[in-house]
Amino acid sequence: MVLAQLGGSISRALQQMSNATIIDEKVLNDCLNEITRALLQADVQFKLVRDMSTNIKKIVNLEDLAAGHNKRRIIQQAVYNELCKILDPGKPSFTLKKGKPSVVMFVGLQGSGKTTTCTKYAYHHQKKGWKPALVCADTFRAGAFDQLKQNATKAKIPFYGSYTESDPVKIAVDGVETFKKENCDLIIVDTSGRHKQEAALFEEMRQVSEATKPDLVIFVMDSSIGQAAFDQAQAFRQSVAVGAVIVTKMDGHAKGGGALSAVAATKSPVIFIGTGEHMDEFEVFDVKPFVSRLLG
Ligand code: GDP
């Protein structure tokens, strides 16, 4: 995963700083420049990187640090804290309650991995004792219902969809009602995507959301979209109340920095990452262990 390269570059920059005999302004600046370069190469949004660097300089005020202070440690801690801060929007994602019917709506562009992720999310919760169900409200992509049906059947998860109904709002509402009656406690609504951010897509998202009143809207983002991540995530957030992010294809050649940008744009936490095409290639995302691992 290219994220490992990002971690490697940051760790190396910190190590070089640590190896310096005296830590002065120049050493700190060199270290921050290296980290900045690494983050930009990993597609983290420019403004985020610039703010991070400014914040670290503010925290690590070398002149005011009395002799005896461990400057290396302070700089390392500041870098760790700032990376955590980017990934932590400061509010937890909505917590679902087992046994009480919750509706979770998935949004994202076509090809982002939305349908695959819906099943992974359902399967993950099913293993933990939930009663999930899948609703296919994607009437735009031919074959979407078949794909969801196939995935759901494999995971033994009930599903709802239609080959004839063309109104996604009607399918979503009917599906949610059906599964509420069946006492499912996690009703997952997969919605249409488009290749691009389009007004029609956002209007459809708004309508499905208004009709189904989801407890949580999850934005699914392909980690390889790079610098486009921030704008894309923000566009979705402006249409529907995104409450959490799932970043897919973290196993590929993605640089991963888009995840950091998506958090900033949606002010919502990343809750899972997708690490492969299979149902169980799905990991819970926790900021602190992630950043610790990133920095080695
Ligand atoms: P949708 O159009 O957003 O519903 O996207 P799909 O769920 O159909 O996924 C598009 C492609 O990405 C499919 O070939 C999936 O198998 C693949 N995919 C989804 N998630 C991941 C992931 O985490 N890793 C990898 N390698 N492939 C993924």
DSSP string covering 71-89, please? HHHHHHHHHHHHHHHHH--
Q: How much is the average pLDDT of 118-125?
A: 97
Ligand 1 atom closest to 114 (CA): 3
Rg (CA), the chain: 21
Ligand 1 atom closest to 144 (CA): 4
- Specify the residue with its C-alpha closest to ligand 1, atom 28: 277
Q: Which residues line ligand 1 (CB under 6 A)?
A: 108, 110-116, 193, 248-249, 251-252, 274-277
CA distance 87 to 90: 9
In this structure, which amino acid lies at residue 13? A
Q: Give the pLDDT of residue 7.
A: 74
- Specify the residue with its C-alpha closest to ligand 1, atom 6: 113
CA distance 75 to 30: 12
Q: Which of 115, 196, 277, 281 to mutate to test the pocket of ligand 1 (most atoms within 8 A of CB)?
A: 277
Report pTM.
0.88
Residue 197: DSSP 8-state: -
- Specify the residue with its C-alpha closest to ligand 1, atom 20: 113
Ligand 1 centroid to residue 213 C-alpha, Å: 26
- If you average pLDDT over each of 8-17, 189-198, 205-214, which comes out highest? 205-214
In this structure, which amino acid lies at residue 217? V
In this structure, which amino acid lies at residue 288? K
Q: Give the pLDDT of residue 296.
A: 67
CA-nearest of 41, 37, 9 to 256 is 41
Ligand 1 centroid to residue 111 C-alpha, Å: 6
Q: Which of 109, 116, 270, 275 to mutate to test the pocket of ligand 1 (most atoms within 8 A of CB)?
A: 116
In this structure, which amino acid lies at residue 194? R
The H or E element containing residue 283 is strand 282-284
pLDDT tens track for 23-78? 888 999 999 999 999 888 877 888 889 999 999 998 888 777 666 678 888 888 99
The rounded percent of the chain whose pLDDT value lies above 70 is 95
CA distance to 109, 125, 286, per residue, from 196 (Å): 7, 30, 30
In this structure, which amino acid lies at residue 281? E
Q: How much is the average pLDDT of 218-232?
A: 86
> Would the pLDDT of 2 be above 70?
no
